Structure 1
Amino acid sequence: MTLARLKSSLLALAAASLVLAPVWASAADGDNWRSGISTVGELKHPDGFERFDYVNPDAPKGGTLRMSTTGTYDTVNPLLAKGELATGLGLVFDTLMKPSEEELSSSYGLLAEAVSFPEDISRASFRLRKEAKWADGQPVTPEDVVFSFEKSKDLNPQLASYYTHVTKAEVTGEREVTFTFDEKNNKELPQIVGQLLIVPKHWWEAKGADGKPRDISRGTLEPVMGSGPYKIASIAPGSTISYERRDDYWGKDVNVNVGLYNFKTVTYTFYADRDVEFQAFKAGNTDFWHENSASRWATGYDFPAVKDGRIKREELPNIYRSVGIMQAFVPNGRRDKFKDPKVRLALNYAFDFEEMNRTLFYNQYQRINSFFMGSDLASSGLPQGKELEILNEIKDQIPPEVFTKEYRNPMGGDPAKQRDNLREAVRLMKDAGYELCGNRMINVSTGKPFEFEILVDSAAMERVAVPYSQNLKRIGIGATVRLVDTSQYTNRTRSFDFDMVVNLWAQSSNPGNEQADYWGSKSVDRQGSKNFAGIKSPAIDVLVNKIIFAKDRDDQVAAVKALDRVLLAGNYVIPQFYRGEMTLAYWNTLVQPKELPRYGIGFPEAWWSASAEK
């Protein structure tokens, strides 16, 4: 995937993954206005700090950044959960608070100069900056914030779930808006409302360029207006979208923006084929490339621009330092055929990661064995201490092996191991009521063969799914791989119209409310949720609540590890592979800061054009 999509998954989908149990910047005796919130430890920067440490405050302004992405787009309405949203719209809009890539999970005031909340965290108030303005010069108002909140919940099921416990937003002062919560002591709620993307109420309620009233409940290709550093300069639906830096941006001198947004123009070109997209990068039509193909990274960069240094290659762990990854084949548990955990485990025995790693990935990956792979939240060994105490509370509702057996994926890699794994898969299917008759796996009760479709949206994942389907066919399971375009894939996953898909969950170091959207019972039937596996378990609901209401970091970590164990023991997914580094290539037309932030790469905000240095 492109960097924009990766950052959406790892950091923003990450919006849903950046928060939990905050340690507040000052004592919470009554309401205290503060400029930032840290969810792990103390804020790095004091009130009134000058800038983030990693930025170059003297970075030259100018030049063009040419980006690419796979897929298409048919709308630039940032709140609507319909259609395909254009990439890069975050450049147009501001949020109340801005996250720091220097810290695990901290955010500082952007549109809001300060945030306040009482000791019981029953509400949170944000005081807007006097200087905050929309691109048409009108001030950003509390009414805009209320409008944005209400429309986000009305039009986007995922945001409606994310903000479930935020009951209302109301104007409480000339520049003040207050969010009320329906539960107390949920420490992440002030943080997540700070992530709210703010849109202009007056613009959406006015008439458009065509003279007709605008409708925020519908997609649009009219360039939308925001308060952010860029405006939409041009739109070619499904082909390109271009953004131009606003010289009159109200927030260019705010401390959280100093040294950022240096490119004059940022353009995204959309491609239907990833290989064609790479050829455009090689030809110099794109400046930056995030490589997601291990084979291409190993063998595909033997061309002049790399050899003579015009293209630089880097392997950077920064983003992964704060992110736990689960990428997996995900069977849809809403389907009867996938309800039995023995069946789901059998599907794991048929996945030969070691052979795939050798033949497709040049041994660059490792097998995922946790829903929080690569982070300190990943479970290991057998449960102990607080983690064991939590699990004992739901002992009768979870698999007994949670207490007695460390989770391990089947090991393949040679013919003998593969045969043993496939025999075990056949045995598990038999225990689940299936029988291998000739070359077909048959349900003994119904006489129907076990067949399903693996839905993918990229040729890269198709290359992974095909050998997996071939292994399944060796034990009589008819698995077909279907490659569809981005729009069809989005629509089908939103409505859970699939047998099996591939998904990546990017977990921050501070899981919170988003866990209910991933695994909670209430999200099973809500279209647009991220509960692709169709999990509906009272025990998992208990663990999710313990994460959300963790009193301190120790309780949080114990609850997350307990959840990890129960999810693994349920065999809800077939884990795929992981590499704790971003593989990047970029032309020497781009310049990066001398020191990148520890938990990010500052791209594209903190980078600049080499041409602007001249």
Structure 2
Amino acid sequence: MTSDSETQQAIIGRGAASALPGTRRAVLKAGAALLLAGTGLFPARPVQAGAGRSHGLSFFGDLKYPADFPHFDYVVPDAPKGGTIVLQTSSWLYNQNPITFNTLNNYVLQGDGALGMGMTFTTLMAGALDEPDSLYPALAREIEVSEDARTYRFFLRPEATFHDGSPITATDVVFSVETLRRDGHPNIAMELGLVAEIAAEDPHTVRAVLAETASKSVALTLAAGVPIFSATWWQGRDFRGALSTPPLGSGAYKVRDFSFGRSISFDRVTGWWGADLPAFRGAYNFDVVRYDYYRDRVASFEAFKKGDLTFREEFTSRIWARDYDFPALNEGKVKRDEVPDGTPAGGQGWYFNMRRPKFSDPRVREALAMVFDFEWANKTIMFGSYQRSHSFFENSPLKAVGTPGPEELAILERFRGRIPDAAFGEAFVPAASDGTGRDRRPVLQAANELLVAAGCRREGRRMLLPSGEPFTIEFLDDDNSFEAHHNAFIRGLELLGVTATYRVVDAAQYNSRKRDFDYDMLVGRFSTPLYPDGFIRQFFGSASAAQPGSYNLAGVADPAVDELLTLIVEATTRDDFTHATRALDRVLRAMHVWVPQWYKATNWFAWWDVYGRPPVKPPYGRAVLETWWLDRPKAEALGRGL
């Protein structure tokens, strides 16, 4: 994943599906509602989806919407259709690259995938943006779950078709699952590998059986994370190869045109079979969705000011604080808003590549992390816009705080002697400075002592590793807009005697090096669902540490962590899940696998004032493509032919 701003964007889509077919909310956009539901702070939901036949699927079985719901609450069901929206992306997944693309297949490891391709496919079920783990009918009109929650039957809509008019059948669903788990991107292939059996019982019935080791989250991935491909169209084609022809889809949009590395546009499909389904009513309102690519955020901001881009999510505090002062905004042609965001902020930071010997000692990692002066950087570089991240589950009830409660302690005791002793005390919190940059001597002295204890030694102004080699660090990036933040860290490291450099490479080289774990440190951000999801093993599991292209950026490979992950994935109650996740948070923070950065609980939106939007934004997503529409009177008043 690249870093082109202060708020690092999501590296993988997880959790309940987005309203957009074939996509997942980028790294679960879910807030505390799921956990609060069991505390009396959130009203109980009367609809249940457990064993048997149902209109919905949920990890814990509680659904907000009944079988006869007309539409999701957060949409305007009769929103007008038409017009164009031109934007960049705020999240990406699998092989997608936010600054370039060279293939129309973003479900494989190879190449740089195009943004928006998920809109061209349908999925079996679709998620709501006001629930964190619930799915509702899409291609599948109903679902049947066995008593042991291992066997799932999906009953397909006979009226559903691909864009060429050919019917979508159970054979296409089976083909899609089998293709992805054999040839797909490792991060989806690994999870679908836990589907023990997938079969077409008849043209409109699919049976899937989960492996005994699979959690119910695999069913959510199967239902909402698998794009349905045409088996006929792919016959004779290499799924793993580069793709320059748009594949046959079945979603609300289809590819209109594209220019590799520059832009890709999608047309809304007239007469789409899913348009009037409750999960899609009021959605897909733009006739054309276009993604434009820019080498950096500065160039894209200039394009936005000129109106080449019509919507922008801002990620840089300097620009938000100082540069939104241009004629179109001052004349009211451009609007901007700071929108509250209740979703988990996740874990953004500089990740150590612990596969490299120089980062193998936790004392070394702790020492290096101490050097970063967040308070100075936030005040000087980021206009005080952010809060310091402490947790891998920031801004969520999964964050460990203070000393372990009795339930967390009972879990941690199972691993005593195998996890850092610090995990049993106060959850690790980075030391705060006074923001002046003048109080660093005690911190640097303490960091130096840790390095010496780990076998490093000082030679003049240089810090040497235990091997006698100079201690050097290369920070890898593919965009230099994050340079000031790196330089603030680098200056501190230099005072410690560590020679650090900031290297910016092209997107292809960056993705290749990241896939092959060929880096010292880089910035990453992820967030995990507020329900037990096996995908968390992709971030911290031993199996993913050596898997090319995985999201285990730090290379965490620890048996105790693996066992904690199993407790999380196998949790059957919210309480068990919460306590196990907090225990994991304590252990990871005590291991010092990263240098935590920052987060904020709002989104910064700016747009040309030609759009309408619902009065209330749903809590678990940006919901722009899902719910906004073109306001023609506004567009005509601005003289914009959108």
TM-score normalised to the size of structure 1? 0.94
2:65 maps to which residue?
45
Q: Which runs of 5+ in 1 are unaligned?
A: 206-212
Partner amino acid, structure 2, of 1:516: R
Change (3 A) 1:578 1:333: same
What percent of counterpart residues are identical?
36
Partner amino acid, structure 2, of 1:424: A
Give a deviation string over 1:345-397, Cα, whole Å, max 9, x none: 01111111111001100111111000000011101010012111111111121
Q: Is the 8 A contact 2:186 2:549 kept in 1?
A: yes
Change (3 A) 1:495 1:307: same
Rounded to whole Å, the distance in 1 between the matches of 2:500 and 2:193 is 38
1:197 aligned to 217, 227, 235, which one?
A: 227
Change (3 A) 1:532 1:344: same
1:361 aligned to 382, 386, 392, which one?
A: 382
- Confirm whether residue 220 of structure 1 aligns to residue 243 of structure 2: yes
Rounded to whole Å, the distance in 2 between the matches of 1:47 and 1:14 is 23
2:311 maps to which residue?
288
**Residue 281 of structure 1 aligns to a residue in which SS?**
helix
1:542 maps to which residue?
563
Shift of 1:503: 0.2
Change (3 A) 1:217 1:27: closer
1:165 maps to which residue?
194
2:92 maps to which residue?
none
What aligned pairs does 1:237-276 form with structure 2 within 5 A after superposition? 237-276=260-299
1:94 maps to which residue?
122
Shift of 1:526: 0.9
Q: Is the 8 A contact 1:61 1:612 kept in 2?
A: no
2:112 maps to which residue?
84
1:315 aligned to 333, 338, 359, which one?
A: 338
2:406 maps to which residue?
385
Partner amino acid, structure 2, of 1:525: A
Q: Is the 8 A contact 1:121 1:184 kept in 2?
A: no
1:398 maps to which residue?
419
Give a deviation string over 1:435-461, Cα, whole Å, max 9, x none: 1111100124x2211112100122222
1:429 maps to which residue?
451
Give a deviation string over 1:473-513, Cα, whole Å, max 9, x none: 11110111101222221111111111111000122322411
Rounded to whole Å, the distance in 2 between the matches of 1:508 and 1:294 is 27
**Residue 232 of structure 2 aligns to a residue in which SS?**
helix
Q: Is the 8 A contact 2:354 2:556 kept in 1?
A: yes
Change (3 A) 1:166 1:243: same
2:323 aligned to 289, 300, 311, which one?
A: 300
Q: Is the 8 A contact 1:25 1:38 kept in 2?
A: no
Rounded to whole Å, the distance in 2 between the matches of 1:117 and 1:41 is 11
Shift of 1:40: 5.4
2:540 maps to which residue?
519
Q: Which runs of 5+ in 2 are unaligned?
A: 16-22, 38-44, 90-97, 637-642
Rounded to whole Å, the distance in 1 between the matches of 2:281 and 2:251 is 14
Q: Is the 8 A contact 1:370 1:568 kept in 2?
A: yes
1:134 maps to which residue?
162
What aligned pairs does 1:454-603 form with structure 2 within 5 A after superposition? 454-603=475-624
What aligned pairs does 1:31-42 form with structure 2 within 5 A after superposition? 32-39=52-59, 42=62
Shift of 1:221: 1.2
Rounded to whole Å, the distance in 1 between the matches of 2:331 and 2:241 is 49
Rounded to whole Å, the distance in 2 between the matches of 1:530 and 1:8 is 8
What aligned pairs does 1:4-43 form with structure 2 within 5 A after superposition? 14=25, 17=28, 26=48, 28=50, 32-39=52-59, 42-43=62-63
Rounded to whole Å, the distance in 1 between the matches of 2:70 and 2:238 is 40
Partner amino acid, structure 1, of 2:208: F
Give a deviation string over 1:319-345, Cα, whole Å, max 9, x none: xx2324110101100000000000100
Q: How many residues align?
A: 602
1:208 maps to which residue?
none
Q: Is the 8 A contact 1:121 1:186 kept in 2?
A: no
Shift of 1:414: 3.1
1:607 maps to which residue?
628
Rounded to whole Å, the distance in 2 between the matches of 1:477 and 1:4 is 25
Partner amino acid, structure 2, of 1:113: R
1:67 maps to which residue?
87
Partner amino acid, structure 2, of 1:254: L
Q: Is the 8 A contact 2:12 2:27 kept in 1?
A: no
Change (3 A) 1:97 1:9: closer
Between stretches 164-173 and 234-243, larger displacement belongs to: 164-173
Rounded to whole Å, the distance in 1 between the matches of 2:282 and 2:459 is 67
Partner amino acid, structure 2, of 1:326: G
2:463 aligned to 441, 448, 451, which one?
A: 441
- Confirm whether residue 373 of structure 1 aligns to residue 394 of structure 2: yes
Q: Is the 8 A contact 1:274 1:459 kept in 2?
A: no
Shift of 1:189: 2.6
Shift of 1:6: 5.0
Rounded to whole Å, the distance in 2 between the matches of 1:536 and 1:256 is 40
Shift of 1:229: 0.8
Rounded to whole Å, the distance in 2 between the matches of 1:227 and 1:415 is 56
1:235 aligned to 246, 255, 258, which one?
A: 258
Partner amino acid, structure 2, of 1:305: A
Rounded to whole Å, the distance in 1 between the matches of 2:605 and 2:479 is 19
Give a deviation string over 1:270-299, Cα, whole Å, max 9, x none: 111220110000111111111110111111
Shift of 1:7: 9.1
**Residue 79 of structure 1 aligns to a residue in which SS?**
coil
Partner amino acid, structure 2, of 1:487: A
Partner amino acid, structure 1, of 2:344: V
RMSD: 2.3
Q: Is the 8 A contact 1:74 1:86 kept in 2?
A: yes
1:122 maps to which residue?
150
